Amino acid sequence: MPGCRSGRRFIAWAALTGVISGAVFLAVAELFALIFARTASPILAVGGFVIDIVPQPFKEFAISTFGEYDKIALLVGLGLAVVIASAIAGVLQLVRAPLGVIALVVAGVLSTAAIVTRAGVTPLAFLPPVLGTVAGSVIVTLLIRRLHSWRASALETRTDAAAAADLPENPAAPTGIGRRRFFALAAIAGASALVVGVASRAVTMAVGSVESIRSALRLPSPKTTVTVPEGAEFDIEGLSSLFTPNKDFYRVDTALTVPTIDPETWRLVIDGMVDQRVEMSFQDLLDMGLDEYAITLTCVSNEVGGELVGNAMWLGVPLRDVLKKAGVKSGADMVLSRSVDGYTASTPLSALTDDGLDAILAVGMNGEPLPLEHGFPVRMVVPGLYGYVSATKWLAELKVTTFAEDEAYWTPRGYSAEAPIKFSSRVDTPKLGAAVDAGRIPIAGVAWAQSVGIERVEVSIDNGEWMPVTMSTPINDDTWVQWYMEWDATPGTHYVAVRAVNKKGELQIEERAPIAPDGSSGWQRSLIRVT
């Protein structure tokens, strides 16, 4: 059989092609699993499926043979199976395209099935295996095509050489080019798959392991709890709930990837203008005893009527007690808090040490440890100051210093070094621009004036007189209050405006201001269509 030896050689390269395509499949799937759905790793899902379907005696055999390495043995076994199956797919693609692609698609369908039938699956979990299949199929197609042209030129060369030596050109050239083109793509695809796959899996596992540490963590019960008074929350459709569920809580930070910190290794350093530098562990913090605090957080980037505000029940310790351990030197007027990712915030020292203010280091949020995106394991929460000057997440250091000496992340970027929250009010329902049916409907929303408290909220319709509304019983002066009024909505277009008065008797600022440099102001006016 002519070309048999070289044919065998190409079979080997086709097998390698298959393995590389399989690696591309898995690497792309791992990358998109990291982005869209952490549990959508094809290998792990298939592994989980195997564990689920393997009969009990076989499981016992595996455990008795491999002991605690049973899972690793399973993964190694799966890995070998993947290598062999993809090598076969590569050879199939060489011998009869598109059989190799079909084999990859079958693998894609099976792993998608394994993924979407797992417990706790998310809606986008099908994407990683599907995109992986597409990438793997493209690579196997391209590589095998290049392998074909290499082989064609190699065969030509042999035939030519056998026929006669009277060809003027150098016949080795096209063979060399074909070979180079194949190996170039194979090397790039193989190396990228290795780097992307290993890096994605490593990141997913780092996140996953801290997430599992977090979900296993049981915080001690609070020494003191917050009593939510009767009448603190109205039941009105479209009105923000009194406490914002963690999954709906706005998130603002500069972190490209969420820092993952094991509380075991977390340390807080308190240094700068202090009597003694102090280092605290997570346990040291818990040992101080935790208390509940209901505090509404607001972002400086919140526009009038915006959504960058949320209320939570925090669990934490007073910052003044933490700072006392280090002893603040006289002359200091600021604490520069630093996150593990380098972010810094400048908080006036007095906002952290005043007895009347509940500035805290928080470890819990709405009954659970802080979610990773909200600063796990420890963050600051300071009532009355915008988040960017006070609410440092993934906290690592408190440096006692002065405004003259130190500058925070946002200060050279167009935001004030000090930024008390401008108290504000918002309409939640009816929604701006929304069409509502004529009749008696509630107009309802929230208002906040952290550390001072809301005295009253007023609404004006179609530029008419300001009318008082019904307010919920506030939990404290640090949380927002809900408010509502009944309105006889008549057909047509109406303006609804809202404003608040704080407990100092100050009226919410009417003049509009942009968010930079120290927060927006203005009365919210919404246009409402009644039909």
Ligand X SMILES: Nc1nc2c(c(=O)[nH]1)N[C@H]1C(S)=C(S)[C@@H](COP(=O)(O)O)O[C@H]1N2
Q: Which residues bind Mo ion (CB under 5 A)?
A: 252, 299-300, 387-388
Strands (E), 241-355: 267-272, 278-281, 291-298, 309-318, 334-339, 344-348
Beta bridge partners of 481: 447
Tokens standing for 349? 């020292």
Q: Least distance to ligand X from the beta carbon of 252, Å?
A: 4
8 phi and psi angles, rounded to 5 deg: -65, -40
Q: Are 95 and 148 in contact (CB under 8 A)?
A: no
The least distance separating ligand X from the CB of residue 370, rounded to whole angstroms, comes to 8
State the burial class of residue 110 (Cβ atoms within 10 Å of its Cβ: 0-12, 13-18, 19+). middle
**CB-facing half-sphere around the CA of 344: CA atoms within 13 A:** 19
Q: What's the token pair of residue 299?
A: 């972002």
Sheet holding 435-436, edge to edge: 435-436, 524-530, 492-502, 454-461, 467-468
Rg of the chain (C-alpha set): 32
The answer to whether 448 touches 309, Cβ cutoff 8 Å, is yes
Number of residues that bind ligand X (CB under 6 A): 19
- For residue 250, the minimal CB distance to Mo ion (Å) is 9
Name the burial class of residue 142, with classes exposed (0-12), middle (13-18) and buried (19+) by CB atoms within 10 angstroms of its CB: middle
Among 343, 376, 415, 423, binds ligand X (CB under 6 A): 343
Nearer to ligand X, 8 or 247 (CB): 247
Long-range contacts formed by 158-167: CB under 8 A, 24+ apart: 158/3, 158/6
* Interface segment toward ligand X; rule CB under 6 A; list 137-145, 170-178, 245-253, 274-282: 245-253
Q: For ligand X, which is the closer residue by CB, 254 or 350?
A: 254
Q: Does 66 bind ligand X (CB under 6 A)?
A: no
According to the binding rule CB under 6 A, does residue 267 interact with ligand X? no
Residue of the chain from 39, 339, 346, 520 that contacts ligand X (CB under 6 A): 339
| Residue 472 beta carbon to ligand X: minimum distance, rounded to whole angstroms | 22
Do the Cβ atoms of 51 and 177 come closer than 8 Å? no
Among 402, 412, 404, 348, which Cα is nearest to 380's? 348
Question: Which of 6, 209, 225, 254: binder of ligand X (CB under 6 A)?
Answer: 254
Question: Helices (H), strands (E): how many in the chain?
Answer: 10, 19
The smaller minimum CB distance to ligand X, of residues 192 and 246, is found at 246
Identify which of residues 293 and 394 has a Cβ nearer to ligand X in the complex: 394
* Min separation Cβ 249 and Mo ion, Å: 13
481 binds, among ligand X, Mo ion, none (CB under 5 to 8 A by kind): none
Q: Binding to ligand X (CB under 6 A): which residues in 285-304?
A: 297, 299
Return the one option of Mo ion, ligand X, none that residue 150 interacts with (CB less than 5 to 8 A, by type). none
Partner touching 374 among Mo ion, ligand X, none, CB below 5 to 8 Å by kind: ligand X
Cα dihedral: 355, 357, 360, 366 (round 10): 130
Binder of ligand X out of 49, 66, 234, 250 (CB under 6 A): 250
Give residues with Cβ within 8 angstroms of 112, minimum separation 6.
Answer: 126, 129, 130
Contacts of ligand X in 381-420 (CB under 6 A): 387-388, 391-394
Q: Which is nearer to ligand X, 392 or 401 (CB)?
A: 392
Which of Mo ion, ligand X, none lies near 251, with the C-beta cut-off 5 to 8 A by kind? Answer: ligand X
Nearest distance, CB of residue 293 and Mo ion, angstroms: 19
Q: Which is nearer to ligand X, 97 or 255 (CB)?
A: 255
The pattern of x and - marking residues 157 through 186 that bind ligand X according to CB under 6 A reads ------------------------------
Is 374 a binding residue for ligand X by CB under 6 A? The answer is: yes
The verdict on whether omega for the bond into residue 420 sits within 30 degrees of 0, i.e. cis, is: no
Tokens 């960058």 sit at which residue? 308
Nearest distance from residue 297's CB to ligand X, in Å? Answer: 6
| Residue 521 C-beta: closest distance to ligand X, Å | 17
H helix or E strand, kind and range, residue 191:
helix 172-216
- Selected from 9, 96, 251, 324, the binder of ligand X by CB under 6 A is 251
Stretch that binds ligand X, among 188-196, 223-231, 244-252, 452-460 (CB under 6 A): 244-252
Question: What is the smallest separation between the CB atom of 338 and ligand X, expressed in angstroms?
Answer: 8
Q: Write down how long the chain is.
A: 531
The minimum distance between CB 392 and ligand X, in angstroms, equals 5
Q: How far is the CB of 296 from ligand X (least distance, A)?
A: 11
Q: Which CB, 10 or 409, lies closer to ligand X? A: 409
One-letter amino acid for residue 237 of the chain:
E
Give residue number: closest CB to Mo ion.
299
CA-CA distance, 178 to 488, in Å (whole number)? 79
Residues in contact with ligand X by CB under 6 A are: 249-255, 297, 299, 339, 341, 343, 374, 387-388, 391-394
